[in-house]
Amino acid sequence: MKDIPIRNNANNTLIVLMKKAIIIATMILAATLQMSAQETRSPQIAFEETVFNFDTIVQNSNAEHVFCFANEGDAPLLITSAFSSCGCVVPEWPREPITPKAKASIKVKYNTSKAGAFTKIIVVKSNDTASSKTVLRINGVVVEEKKQNAKTSQISRLTLLKNLQQ
């Protein structure tokens, strides 16, 4: 016996529509995966340190520190701004983009004209999507020059006494 082909147009149409739907869904999924893979590219700022202690600084002396960082991401990093909690701290930062895996630095200058203890913050803003703001901190004590000299000579005398006793 010969098989007679059954012609059921409704079933054939449904199968064709299902195949087209599967192909379209697969294309949409592939496009979505490709777009999400592109979106994961981002810069990532990583500082070697975020706090620096100047300890004791003589009044009117030069107080500078360099905060080093790297772009550990896979897209260029841009520092959009760096500002401090007061005018006595002046940050200098790179204005050009930092390429992936490259290193750069932010130099911070502190005005030591006023004696006394200090703690200052510097806010660094960047295009790092995970952490767009990084807070850096400096602290220390500014002493008058004569007080620093008196303290140094007192320490020298104590050291001399200890050496004589030994």
Instruction: Say if domain 45-151 classifies as CATH 2.60.40.10.
Output: yes
Residue 99 carries which DSSP code? Answer: P
CB burial of residue 62 (10 Å; 0-12, 13-18, 19+): exposed
What CA–CA distance (Å, rounded) separates 150 from 156? 10
- Taking the domains of the chain in order of start, what are their residue ranges? 45-151
pLDDT at 85: 80
pLDDT at 34: 73
Full-prediction pTM beyond 0.75? no
pLDDT at 24: 84
Q: Strands of 45-47's sheet, edge to edge? A: 45-47, 63-71, 103-110, 89-92
What are the residue ranges in the chain where pLDDT is below 70? 1-11, 35-39, 147-166
pLDDT at 1: 53
